[in-house]
Structure 1
Amino acid sequence: MTNSLLPTSIVGSLPKPSWLSETETLWSPWKLEGAPLAEGKQDAMRAAVLEQTRRGIDIISDGEQTRQHFVTTFIEHLSGVDFENKQTVLIRDRYEASVPSVVGAVERKAPVFVEDAKFLRTLTDRQIKWTLPGPMTMVDTLHDGYYGSREKLAWEFAAILNQEAKELEAAGVDVIQFDEPAFNVFFDEVADWGVAALERACEGLKAETVAHICFGYGIKANNDWKATLGTQWRHYEKSFPLLQRSSIDTISLESHHSNVPLEVVELVRGKRVMLGAIDVANQQIETSEEVAETLRKALEYVDADKLIPSTNCGMAPFPRDVALAKLSALSAGAAVLREELVCASV
């Protein structure tokens, strides 16, 4: 059963087991191949579901155990993209990376994650969530050598994502999350076409939709960028008013140990809010009271029945024991506040 008050969820990734890929390393190559790799991914998913369940997480994800990269693993299943001749681009306007290039019309010839989602559905009776990259973030993680327009390519990706999302919904997925860290960088594009493209990706879905916008994994490039942002990170003020008027159901943001002013949550009043109450840039394990206090402060700006305690971002780079302990801290902190709210209502 899922807690109806303050249901907990993780944003995305959990560390993979050491027999599947290199630990504490983002986007590490697989250690297995062929049938053993397929079996290994399913075993890793089983472990991720078990640990989330044991540690009190209500909305269960696959922990991204079947993916190497949150964007390119989806893109590599599309036609029109060349992974052999990579190009170097500046991602999110802050770090260079070697990325695949769009060389023709992008098309989805077959489902990408649907079979994995069907398997996840068999592992738990709780609500399940699946994450997909958002259209703008997909565009920003590629070299475009064909369309000549970031907006045009984003609309193509939005239609493809909508196909995948509808099939994920049919496979039993309750919550579909779109990751859009690019929304914290390209403010003019967010207003011009970013939110509209994201809505196109969600068109016609009955599953709950989530827009996840964060400041990235706790890697050096992101941490160095954060150090330049000053004492208040007010980026959400650009996208939240637009998202508040959008068809997206839930807004996910980074909060704990960040310089994001909590009052920005007021800008999405009426939406459900996935509030990051676990730091993913620090291996220190939060106490239940620290988590509860982060959530407690947010209640000034979001109604309790719309608050979903979560992590700031994914935890793939962490040691496995640290990530799992942080899951326990998240659920324990939510339980503290849940009890307070129930007692206050009696």
Structure 2
Amino acid sequence: MKTNVLGYPRIGEKRELKKANEAFWAGEITQEELFAVAEKIRVHNWTLQKEAGIDLIPSNDFSFYDQVLDFSFSVNAIPERFAPVSGLTELEQYFAIARGYQKNGIDVTASEMTKWFDTNYHYIVPEFTKNQSFSLKTNKPLAEYLLAKKHGFETKPVLLGIITYLLLGKEKETGFHRLELAERLLPVYIQIIESLVAAGAKTIQIDEPYLVLDLPEKAAEAYQKVYGEIRAKFPNTEFILTTYFGALDNNTSLAVSLPFDVLHIDLVRATAQLDNVLKALPKEKKLSLGVVDGRNIWKNNYEHSLSVIQKAQEAIGNERLLIATSSSLLHTPCNLENENNEKVLTPEIKQWLAFAKQKVKELSHLKAIAIGHDLSAEVKAAFEENKKAAENRKTSPLIHDTKVKERVKGITDNDSKRNSEFATRQKVQEEALKLPLFPTTTIGSFPQTQEVRSWRANFKKGTLTEADYDKLLEKEIEESIRWQEQTGIDVLVHGEFERNDMVEYFGELLNGYTFSKFGWVQSYGSRCVKPPIIFGDVSRPEPMTVRWSKFAQSLTKLPVKGMLTGPVTILQWSFVRDDQPRWETCYQIALAIRDEVVDLEKAGIKVIQIDEPAIREGLPLRRNEWKNYFDWAIKAFRISASGVEDQTQIHTHMCYSEFNDMIEAIADMDADVITIECSRSQMELLDVFADFKYPNEIGPGVYDIHSPRVPSEEEIYHLMKKAIAVVPFRNLWVNPDCGLKTRHWEETKLALEAMVKTAQKLREEYKK
């Protein structure tokens, strides 16, 4: 029996990679200094896994930005539009594909991003053409394997599987299917494997998580052909086929038939699949049991995991078993040992948790207990401590609130319905708000400068009084309101300068939540988030945003949006308790947000935005499970939004989502206005709204805020004309594609000024 880690967080325990990346982008450190930080992180990760007794330690699980982009770059699948940056260094080219580039007369837009399966991690979407060619541009897997070897570590290189890679991409022209490119990509893939085998790699992990989805036509055939050829080429190399985030289900026969030595399955998200896999697994193959959760922060329940392991032991024996993380630990924070502030995370709750380093140790404990020979005192003590923590979590009075549970039970259908249909509400809102054609707004946040962040840090440290902190925030809000008025924006925002993160901020104000100090996980590139932890029943003890929204509205006659995060997104972007159904927790959050919406309306706020960027992300990977999810997720949003009168305009915002397969559900949300990300896809996402004849108002994002480049008026005008071609112009808003928190003021002002001028130009063109 071996222990197997699928991947480890790459940001560093104190976000060292984020800081180094951003310093490199700003020209503050050299490429060599950035590489030194990256090497230090990798050596640290390999060291702690080796010291924990892990048998199969991954390499090539590190990335400067994104592992899918890494693969595209390695095999030279670089879109032709990035040719202008070909004269830059390889690292600069790599970052230009991810972030765009606007220097020295070169202006290229960033690649499209979307969610990695049903996580909050974003990957760079590969772009394919019919005559796509592949070649080995950089051999990153080999470089990382050799780096590990240099430092004394024998590792298991991790490769993204060919079929999953192609299926995660997009065809950028018609007349072919991206799976047809598998035969062209295969020789380059084999070249990479050849180099690894020649360097001494004995085991190679190939990630094919697409096997837990509904496969498109001819995918099974492509899987068999590609991996048949790889096996024939490398008969003596041990290959691990890795699946995660769900069950193989109807793909079980295909997965076990592929010529891999080891099959890995996720038994956290899909415990029930074990029986079917054990029955189907050929006698010569091994099985990797994903029993330690790679997606959440709860301590492993050893007794439960051991019962799963024992079932597999009885079926196929210890020699054919690996004990593993369910997926890469990329989605978990690095190290619980750093959480030493009991005011932030109490000892009682902390004893229920495990971050990546602790999860690695859990694997070693489970292996030792499962084998059962001469258990050390350390392992015996760990087992007893684990049982005590599990029992404490079941019985702790911190978790349960009878009033909250009763309120959820009392929810009726009327709680999820507005007073009138949208057509009626639209007329009432036109009269109440008196907005022009093509109204302009932003998504909510404005740049959080180092100065603003320092105020919040000093306030939390106690070196800045609450009164002084409030005065600083008031001044910042007033300046942003005045600038928006001067620029000509129609529906203003207060800028969210008091907020750290759009979910963490609300978690800090809700009962049933707790927090970590260093519980960062990567969302995309250098963007890290620190998800709050839902450990118990959720309720709102008092208003959360009314004070700042009311203050901002008092400064202007123009409408100022109340800014809230929706219940599904708060759920999705938190570490969620696993002792009750997710829908129940979501309804608890929805009722808390509903109370806030009603209080904002009472305070005179006429426009309220309830952001739901994670609606698509929460969608189950299998289509046959969608209806159940939509039933409770859409209802949760409507519960949060339906306590107001017709004249109060409800907005929602979604970003980096494919809407084609869920447009009816979006319409069922019944938001008066939806703002979406459209710029990176060049308005392609709007086609589905047009085909569906989406009845409500839409704000297609006209520029990409995740890139530092500033769009021109001509560019924004071109995108809006594309939008007007498919959506009635009277239903269109003009806005960026996401919040502006991570941007700098200089680029933000230039971009928004161009946006407003474009809207004014369109008003002249389309006025009565």
Q: 1:171 to 1:285 in 2, by over 3 A?
A: same
Alignment partner, residue 263 of structure 1: 687
Conserved 8 A contact 1:155-1:197:
yes
Conserved 8 A contact 1:273-1:306:
yes
2:756 to 319, 331, 340: 331
Amino acid across the alignment from 2:724:
L
Tell me the CA shift for residue 175 of structure 1. Answer: 1.3
Conserved 8 A contact 1:265-1:298:
no
1:88-144 CA-partner distances (Å, limit 9, x unpaired): 77879xx98543322222111110011111101111100111221111111122222
Specify every segment of 5 or more residues in structure 1 that has no aligned partner in the other structure, as ranges: 23-27, 216-232
Alignment partner, residue 636 of structure 2: 197
Tell me the CA shift for residue 239 of structure 1. Answer: 3.1
Amino acid across the alignment from 2:653:
H
Conserved 8 A contact 1:147-1:153:
no
Report which stretch shifted further, 109-118 or 96-105: 96-105
Alignment partner, residue 239 of structure 1: 662
Distance, in Å, in 2 between the alignment partners of 1:325 and 1:336 is 17
SS state at 2:760 partner? helix
SS state at 2:734 partner? strand
Amino acid across the alignment from 1:110:
E
Amino acid across the alignment from 2:491:
I
Amino acid across the alignment from 2:722:
K
Conserved 8 A contact 1:105-1:146:
no
TM-score (ref. length: structure 2): 0.39
How many pairs align? Answer: 318
1:81 to 513, 520, 535: 513
Conserved 8 A contact 1:214-1:254:
yes
Alignment partner, residue 5 of structure 1: 437
Tell me the CA shift for residue 146 of structure 1. Answer: 6.4
Distance, in Å, in 2 between the alignment partners of 1:80 and 1:208 is 30
Query: 2:499 aligned with 1:63, yes or no?
Result: no
Tell me the CA shift for residue 335 of structure 1. Answer: 1.0
SS state at 2:475 partner? helix
Tell me the CA shift for residue 83 of structure 1. Answer: 2.0
SS state at 1:212 partner? strand
Alignment partner, residue 705 of structure 2: 280
Query: 2:674 aligned with 1:251, yes or no?
Result: yes
SS state at 1:173 partner? coil
2:476 to 44, 61, 65: 44
Structure 2 counterparts to residues 283-322 of structure 1, below 5 A: 283-322=708-747
Distance, in Å, in 1 between the alignment partners of 2:704 and 2:508 is 30
Tell me the CA shift for residue 18 of structure 1. Answer: 4.1
Greater helix share, structure number = 2
Q: 1:268 to 1:62 in 2, by over 3 A?
A: farther
2:612 to 165, 169, 180: 180
Conserved 8 A contact 1:19-1:31:
no
1:21-52 CA-partner distances (Å, limit 9, x unpaired): 26xxxxx9534432221111111111111111
Q: 1:254 to 1:100 in 2, by over 3 A?
A: closer
1:115 to 539, 547, 572: 547
Greater strand share, structure number = 1
Distance, in Å, in 2 between the alignment partners of 1:315 and 1:88 is 20
Distance, in Å, in 2 between the alignment partners of 1:139 and 1:91 is 16
Distance, in Å, in 2 between the alignment partners of 1:331 and 1:2 is 17
Distance, in Å, in 2 between the alignment partners of 1:39 and 1:90 is 33
Alignment partner, residue 188 of structure 2: none
SS state at 1:99 partner? coil
Query: 2:652 aligned with 1:211, yes or no?
Result: yes
Conserved 8 A contact 2:516-2:530:
no
SS state at 2:708 partner? coil
Tell me the CA shift for residue 9 of structure 1. Answer: 0.3
Alignment partner, residue 220 of structure 1: none
TM-score (ref. length: structure 1): 0.84
Q: 1:332 to 1:295 in 2, by over 3 A?
A: same
2:586 to 150, 154, 163: 154
Amino acid across the alignment from 1:211:
T
Q: 1:77 to 1:245 in 2, by over 3 A?
A: closer
Distance, in Å, in 1 between the alignment partners of 2:518 and 2:713 is 45
Higher relative contact order (CA 8 A, sep 6+): 1
Tell me the CA shift for residue 284 of structure 1. Answer: 2.1
Report which stretch shifted further, 10-19 or 173-182: 10-19
Amino acid across the alignment from 1:264:
V
Specify every segment of 5 or more residues in structure 2 that has no aligned partner in the other structure, as ranges: 1-432, 621-625
Conserved 8 A contact 1:191-1:239:
no
1:162-193 CA-partner distances (Å, limit 9, x unpaired): 00011011111111111112123222465242
SS state at 2:532 partner? strand
Tell me the CA shift for residue 17 of structure 1. Answer: 4.3
Distance, in Å, in 2 between the alignment partners of 1:244 and 1:268 is 10
Tell me the CA shift for residue 212 of structure 1. Answer: 0.6
SS state at 2:490 partner? coil
Conserved 8 A contact 1:87-1:143:
no
Distance, in Å, in 2 between the alignment partners of 1:90 and 1:279 is 20
Conserved 8 A contact 2:456-2:469:
no
Report which stretch shifted further, 330-339 or 186-195: 186-195
- Between structure 1 and structure 2, the one with the greater Rg is 2
Tell me the CA shift for residue 84 of structure 1. Answer: 5.0
